[in-house]
Chain A
Amino acid sequence: MDAFTRFTNQTQGRDRLFRAIQYTCMLLRYLLEPKADREKVVMKLKKLESSVSTGRKWFRLGNVVHAVQATQQSILVSDLVPRFCLTIANLNRVIYFVCDTILWVRSVGLISDINKEKWRKLAARHYYYSLLLNIIRDVYEISLQMEQVAQEKAKREKSMPQNHLGPCVADEETEWLQSFLLLLFRSLRKHPPLLLDTVKNLCDILNPLDQLAIYKSNSGIIGLGGLLSSLIGMITVAYPQMKLRT
């Protein structure tokens, strides 16, 4: 219980937990909707999802400052490609949080003449850009890791010469693909934070892709992706060493 208390004392921990609950409801709704006698349960899941989603806005208020601080920190990154990607990604996050705050003002009823659809689309677009840039940065880091692993493997093979005679049954293309996938697997296994961050960004991008109608999926896939990314978020809060360092 002590660990649970320490976890929920952090805003991000609580927020990720509620996000997991929200996307679980979305997934369960998708699975139960076709069933005939589950209307009541589906209705309750919908209500839970919407109240958790509304309540989570309170966790996001003031995150503009967090994003501005993250932008300031990402300008100081040494490597050029991550510096560029992270700075632009964080700037997009700042704009996303500004749009989100405006949507909150509208939902609370302080200012009624705000075009909800326009601001929602704007928020989704900038969230999408920030995730895209994060994925580009992840791909760059993965390629660096793969290069490193390949160099280490080459060094080891040079020091231990072996005979590679034997019938080459597989096609050359599939052999290249196999060795590429093996290299990818090895580099990600060596660097769990990078793996978690990549999976999280890929899961997260499903939602804006659907909202912006770039790649329409169903609420089941979005729910599953959101749940997975929330679980990864919870792991990075509970175990800070799993967070990808800039």
Chain B
Amino acid sequence: MDAWVRFSAQSQARERLCRAAQYACSLLGHALQKHGASPELQKQIRQLEGHLSLGRKLLRLGNSADALESAKRAVHLSDVVLRFCITVSHLNRALYFACDNVLWAGKAGLAPLVDQEKWAQRSFRYYLFSLIMNLSRDAYEIRLLMEQESSACGRRPKGSAGGTLGGGEAGGTAWVSAPGGSLPHLALQLRLRVLLLTRVLQGHPPLLLDVVKNTCDLFIPLDKLGLWRCGPGVVGFCGLVSSILSILTLLCPWLRLKP
């Protein structure tokens, strides 16, 4: 009970719970439609989803300031690539929240002349840019870690590295410079790189969580902007997974990717 009180005292936690519920409703609605459930139940689920969406917009009022504050802090990072990616991502998030506030004002009846479609498209576009920046940052971090891992494996003596993986990797780095571009050689290189990637991600759960979360989130604006229509079921499932992962990072702060 104490854990719930502490968790729900953060406004972001409540917003994430509402997001998880909203995408669960979306997924449930899609499943019910496919299996031919009663139209009344479908209408109820759609109504609940609509209420959750509007409620979340209110809960998010003021998040622009939070995103700008994070962007201000990210400007002081030492690494250039990280500094660029994270700052631009936060700025795009701030713009996304600003568009979202305009949409709320339109839905709440304060600004009835707001073109809902136009502003919705705008907000999804900023959201997409922010996710692309996040994924670029993740890719950069993964590349750095993979380089670190492979150089660490190369420095270790060939005999002491346990199992075929260590020996194979140490051998792999030696084989990179080998002449010839034959297909089995390339397949082996690819396999080694995939193994290295798995190892890096296994060793860094926050990075893995962030990659999965951003990848799942990517489907939502891609679908809404019409770039890659995946259907409401996939959008609902991906949204639910990414919301659960972000709730996890709120419950366990060590799982959050720093900075």
A: which residues have CB within 8 A of B?
A: 1-2, 4-5, 8-14, 17-18, 44, 47-48, 51-52, 54-59, 61-62, 65-66, 68-69, 107-110
Partner-contacting stretch, out of B52-60, B120-128, B194-202, B229-237 = B52-60
Chain B residue contacts of A57, Cβ below 8 A:
55
**A51 CA to B106 CA, complexed, in Å:** 11
A109 touches B47 (CB 8 A): yes
CB-CB nearest in chain B for A52: B58
Q: Does B1 contact A (CB under 8 A)?
A: yes
Which residue numbers of B lie inside 8 Å of A, CB to CB? 1-2, 4-5, 8-14, 18, 44, 47-48, 51, 54-56, 58-59, 62, 65-66, 68-69, 107-110
Given contacts A11-B14, A69-B1, contact A110 B69 (CB under 8 A): no
Q: Is the CB of B109 within 8 A of A108?
A: no
Cα distance A61–B55 when bound, in Å? 12
How far apart are the CA atoms of A65 and B1 in the complex, in Å?
Answer: 7
Assembled-state Cα–Cα distance A131/B56 (Å)? 30
Return chain B residues, CB-CB under 8 Å to A12.
9
Q: Are B9 and A11 in contact (CB under 8 A)?
A: yes
CA distance A229 to B107 in the complex (A): 28
Q: Give 5 closest A-B pairs by Cβ, nearest first.
A: A55-B58, A47-B109, A51-B108, A58-B55, A109-B47
Q: Report which of B8, B55, B68 forms a contact with A11, defined as CB distance below 8 A.
A: B8
Q: What does DSSP make chain A's interface, helix, strand, loop or mixed?
A: helix
Q: Which residue of chain B has its CB nearest to the CB of A72?
A: B1
Task: Contacts A59-B14, A109-B48 known; list 16 others, CB within 8 Å.
Answer: A1-B69, A5-B69, A8-B11, A8-B65, A9-B10, A11-B13, A11-B14, A47-B109, A51-B109, A62-B8, A65-B4, A65-B5, A107-B51, A109-B44, A109-B47, A110-B48
> Nearest CB to that of A18 among chain B residues?
B58
- Using A11-B8, A11-B11, A69-B2 as known contacts, say yes or no to A58 and B59 having CB atoms under 8 A apart: yes
Q: How far is the CA of A107 from the CA of B44 in the complex (A)?
A: 11
Question: Does A108 contact B48, Cβ atoms closer than 8 Å?
Answer: yes
Quick check: B1 and A47 within 8 Å, CB to CB? no
Residues in chain B near residue A109, CB distance under 8 A: 44, 47-48, 51
